[in-house]
Each structure stands twice: as C-alpha cells, then as structure tokens.
Amino acid sequence: MKKLLSIVLLAFIVQRADAQDDPNMGIIPAPVSVKKNSGSFKLDKTVVLVSADAKNSRMSDLLNSFIATKGGFALRELKSAGENDKSIVLSSAGADQLPAEGYQINISDKNITITGTEAGLFYAVQSMMQLMPEKKDEQIIIPAAEINDYPRFRYRGLHLDVCRHMFPVSFVKKYIDLMSQYKLNTFHWHLTDDQGWRIEIKKYPKLTTVGATRSGTIIGHHPGVGTDNKEYKGFYTQEEVKDVLAYAAARYINVIPEIELPGHASAAIAAYPELSCFPDRDTFVDAKTPWSGSRKGKQVQQQWGVFDDVFVPSEATFKFLGNVLDEVIALFPSKYIHIGGDESPKEYWKESKFCQDLIKKLKLKNEHELQSYFIQRIEKHVNSRGRSIIGWDEILEGGLAPNATVMSWRGTEGGIAAAKENHDVIMTPNGDGLYYDHRQSLSADEPTNIGGLSHYSKPYAYDPIPKELTPEQQKHIIGVQANLWTEYIETPAKIEYMILPRLFSLSEIAWTPTARKDLKNFSEERIPVHLARFDKTSTNYWVPTPIGQADTLQGETFKIDLKTPVHGAEIYYTLDLTRPAETANLYTNDLKVIVPKGEKRILKTIVITPSGKRSVVTETVLNNGAPDVKSKS
C-alpha cells in the first residue's frame, strides 16, 4: 500500500514538474522571452481584476469569463486596486513603447500586470488563458514569470476556400476564433472560383442566382468515379459579410477578400457569358468527365482543376470587374484586395482574334504580357480607390504590376524574385508544408485529400525568410500564410481535422523568432496540452501518432519508449498483425518485446483520445536480424 502511494505521488510530482518545466509555459506560439521566477500567484475569488481604461474592458471581460469557466469563480472588476488587493491589472500605460502588437506579462506573488496596446492586450489575454494550469482546491496556481512578447511578422495569415465547398457564417466565425487564439491576424477569404461565386454583388445578381450553384460534384478523387447529382449552392450576403468583418475586427483580424481573375472564372462566366472570349461556346467538359445536368452553354464547374475559359480582356470585362471590386472595396476595410492571378491558361487568348488584335495594338510580346496588362489595369482601379492588390506569384509573368504584393505559392522563387524587385511578399509555398489540404501522414487511414504530405513538423521547420535575400530585401517578406483549398473538404469537422494541429505550426513560424523554435518542446510538451483541451470541446483535430522510439534493441529485447501525443489519450498496440483498437493491448511505458535472433515482429499502434478520436495506425518493424524478403527475391 505504502509503495503504491509513493508511486502515485511520484507520478503526480513528475506530472507537475513537467508542466512547470515547460520553458514556454504551454503557450503557442512560443513567446519571445519567458523568464521564470520563484513563487507563484494564487488566483482565487478574492483577486480583483483592474482595468483603468474603458477601451480595455473588453479584454478584462474576456479574461474574466475564461476564469469563470476554468476556476468556477468570476473576479470583481474595478477601475483601480486597493492597497491590499491581490490583483490582475490590465494596462496600456507605456505600451506605445512596445513593438506593434506586443505585450508584457509580469506574474508575481502579489499581482499580475499585463501591458499592451489593444491588440497586444488581446494577445496577452490569449497567452494568459493558455498558461493557466488546472484549478486545485478553488485556486489556480500560476507560476511567477515575466513574459515579453511580440510578433516576428506583421502578416500572419490563414486562407479558406469557400468556393469548392461552402461553410456557414457560424463556422467562418469559429475559424476566425481559432486563428485569433493562436495570434494570427489575417484571414484570406477565397470567395470566387470555377465551382461557385460566393459573395453577393448587388449590381450583378446573376453572379449568385446563377454562379453560386452547380448541378453536381464529382465523387472521389479527381477525375472522379461519378457525380453525386446533387445541386450544390450557397453564397454570403453583404449583410453576412459585414457580420463576419465585425467579428474578425473584434479579434484583431483583417479580412482580405479574393476575387479571382482572369482565370478560375467559370462561375462568373456561367452567369455572364459575355465575359468569355467565346460567349457562344459551351463550357468544355471532357466526354469522360462525370457530369450532372446539361452540358450545353456556360456551366458552373463540377470538376476540380484549371479551365481554359477565362475572362476576355475587353473594356466590358474591365467595367464589370471594376464595379464588382467597388462593391467589395465598399464592404471590406482591408488595405489589400487579393485579385488571384494564378493558373490562368492562355489557350483561349491564343485562339481569340480579339485578344490577338489587342496584343498587336498594345505592342505586347505575348499572352503573358497580356495577363500583365490585365493585372495592371485592375491594379490601377484598385489603387485609385486607395487600396493595394495582392496576387499569386504568376503575376510576375509578363511583368509585375508596379505596386503589387506577391503571394508566393508555387515555391519560394516567385517571392524571392519579387523581393529583389522591391515588392512586398507573403510566403505560402506549397512544397514547404503550408498547403493544409495535403495529407498529414502516409497512412491509408487518411481521408480523401488532394495529395502531397505535410506533417505538422514540415511547416514548423520552414523559415519564411529566404537566405538568398540581402537584409534589405528580406524586409519585403512581410509574412507567411497557410492555405486551405476545399475540393476534398466538405464539412467543418474536416476543416478542423486538416488545420489542427498544423495551425499551431503556422502560428509559431509567423510569430516566434527562429532561435526560439523547438520542435521537441512543441511536439512533446505543448501540442499534447492544446489538443487535450480541444478534445473536451466539439472541435475536431488530427490525432498525432505516438511520440518516441519503438526500436531500441538490447540483446533480444526491444524497449518500446512511447509518449502519448494528446494528454489523457491512450496508446493501444498489437503484435499479431491485427488492427489495434480499445480491445487491443494498452501500452504502458515499460513495454519490452522479445524478438528472437533472426526474427521480426510488427508493432501496430493507435492513439485513442478521451473523446474517442483516433490516430491513424502506425506500423514499426521490430527486426532482430530477420532476412529481408525483398532483397532475396
């Protein structure tokens, strides 16, 4: 009995020591600096919450409602603290000396002072909420520390494609909440594409009465094994857009709308065929493509991919796009308006007499220069309204528009070239793990996805500042973004599965200085805590596979040393080739597997969280010198 008690006690001490040992106090993204001090602040219901400045009361309310949920008590909110009050004080005094969006938290035995400008205080409160341990005996014991924090990049973005699949306003708000909890500040809202136009434009109602509906969607991975024959439709009204913008602004998130041009325009062309080089030509649909309904006339696309029918560079098109952009600009306060520019095939422009005559008239060399002309016309319009354009890196081809910011997605080369031309750049290279539509493991258990592999460690390893640039040129890298294209993402739950925990990696590379990044601490100490919190809510996520080594061999014994990647989750395993589940063996950290010389075993593991979420199954070959069957044959 005594022995059992001491083991339990030891486990308790080890666990507490673990949490307290985390040099980042459980915060994602890791702060610029955390200095631990001795002692602790005992948060209980006698503590007062002080905010002298009315404009900061929103932040103290946010903190207080969190404390109420976590601690079961709400604090008294005051304008100033009495001499003997134990207090948490939010203040903007001196905050103008801090870096933009920066904050400081000072935790002592007597009080906690939190300093920042509005956005800084908002981020400080996010950090406070993350660092608070669980309540014990009506107290939350917060270790003493000084935190000094500010972002590495001023642009910290996450994108969402609502065209391939559409998501309700309530979920867009949840997406914004997740972003703000992890200190991202830019939501790139991809609103128009071939498979649906998703924003109300009052001057052109057919964009949504026609362009927001497709008659079906392919089933399975492109090119698909059939069509679901289901009408798919939806768009955001301007009132809904305003609601989202207000929600985002309250969380210090700027929303950048994307209106795609000149390519990815099938939905707009289905609504207004005169925007095409060939208004009378049917939308091209390969005979083998699964299709629902008519194949005649202009159609909203039901297939994924890149399509030849793009905007014709006519005066009528520029007038249309100018009017569309004017309504968008009137809605969105963002300095930046994203105008797409990617994946615009030149086939129709090559075939079109109008386009070829225009190339001659404007003395352009080719269709790439025509695209550059197109983008520059749009840029002039957007600039004349006091805004700036962002375009995907194809806008470099044929010459960059003078004031454009480039979003480098096909790699980093576009971003490097643009920075060398003194243009601002946002890095979102698809080969460096920032395409969150890519799968998170190679397991066949992964749901249908676009392909590519991006385990969260891949974006975590990415540094958005290219070494090729001089320090002066590096200043043009204003930030980093991850993209979420939704061809294979039909539901909010699948969005959550695809962005968590990769959102944490994005957060850390966007905010934390490179020298402070630490994959081990991130994977083993912080991710498990954050995912365990999501496990208690209705938020889905990708469950990481077990952390650690399974293949250390001593004599005939493999020592299996695994850690759970989600606090509170269990690891189950089999050694008999069956698929592990709750009914399999429960892993404990003294697992040893004896494998006689010349033999091997396959260890299969699965992680199952308290709410029942499951990781993919991993397989590790425990090989004690067994002959390699493949090399024999």
Give residues in contact with ligand ACM (CB under 6 A): 342-343, 392, 409
Least CB distance from residue 481 to ligand ACM, whole Å? 11
Task: Write out the DSSP string of 320-388.
Answer: HHHHHHHHHHHH---SEEEEE--S---HHHHH-HHHHHHHHHTT-SSHHHHHHHHHHHHHHHHHHTT-E
Task: Write out the DSSP string of 210-232.
Answer: TTTEES--B-SSTT-S-B----E
Q: Which of 177, 326, 343, 551 is catalytic?
A: 343
Least CB distance from residue 426 to ligand ACM, whole Å? 12
Our CB check for ligand ACM shows the closer of 163 and 325 to be: 163
Longest dimension (CA), the chain: 93
Instruction: Identify whether 61 is a catalytic site residue.
Output: no
Our CB check for ligand ACM shows the closer of 409 and 587 to be: 409
Least CB distance from residue 259 to ligand ACM, whole Å? 14
In terms of phi and psi (left: phi > 0; alpha: psi -120 to 50; beta: otherwise), the region of 577 is left
The enclosing H or E element of 7 equals: helix 2-21
Q: Determine the Cα–Cα distance for residues 497 and 489; give it in Å rounded to an integer.
A: 10
Question: Is residue 228 classed exposed, middle or buried when 0-12, 13-18 and 19+ CB atoms within 10 A define those classes?
Answer: middle
Least CB distance from residue 429 to ligand ACM, whole Å? 10
Our CB check for ligand ACM shows the closer of 208 and 344 to be: 344
Least CB distance from residue 197 to ligand ACM, whole Å? 17
Q: Any alpha helices (H) in 72-210, and if so which ranges?
A: 118-131, 169-181, 206-209
Our CB check for ligand ACM shows the closer of 435 and 511 to be: 435
Looking from the CA of 414 toward its CB, the CA atoms found within 13 Å total 25
Our CB check for ligand ACM shows the closer of 367 and 487 to be: 487
Q: Is 557 helix (H, G, I), strand (E, B) or coil?
A: strand
Instruction: Identify whether 342 is a catalytic site residue.
Output: no
CB-based contact 96:102 (threshold 8 Å): no
Our CB check for ligand ACM shows the closer of 347 and 524 to be: 347
Q: Which of 159, 165, 190, 264 is catalytic?
A: 264
Q: Determine the Cα–Cα distance for residues 225 and 297; give it in Å rounded to an integer.
A: 24
CB-based contact 560:550 (threshold 8 Å): yes
Q: Determine the Cα–Cα distance for residues 431 and 429; give it in Å rounded to an integer.
A: 6
Pairing of strands 155-161, 48-51: unpaired
Instruction: Identify whether 280 is a catalytic site residue.
Output: no
Q: Determine the Cα–Cα distance for residues 310 and 345; give it in Å rounded to an integer.
A: 8
Our CB check for ligand ACM shows the closer of 342 and 369 to be: 342
Q: Determine the Cα–Cα distance for residues 264 and 35; give it in Å rounded to an integer.
A: 50
Our CB check for ligand ACM shows the closer of 343 and 599 to be: 343
Least CB distance from residue 261 to ligand ACM, whole Å? 13
Least CB distance from residue 480 to ligand ACM, whole Å? 15
Our CB check for ligand ACM shows the closer of 175 and 392 to be: 392
Q: Determine the Cα–Cα distance for residues 586 and 605; give it in Å rounded to an integer.
A: 10
| Bond prior to 29 in cis (omega within 30° of 0) | yes
Least CB distance from residue 559 to ligand ACM, whole Å? 44
- Nearest residue to the partner ligand ACM, using Cβ: 342
Q: Determine the Cα–Cα distance for residues 307 and 264; give it in Å rounded to an integer.
A: 7
Q: Which of 22, 101, 193, 496 is catalytic?
A: 193
CB-based contact 555:549 (threshold 8 Å): no
Which of 289, 407, 279 shows the shortest CA–CA distance to 340?
407
Cα→Cα distances 148→103, 108, 117, 277, Å: 6, 15, 14, 57
Catalytic residues: 193, 264, 343
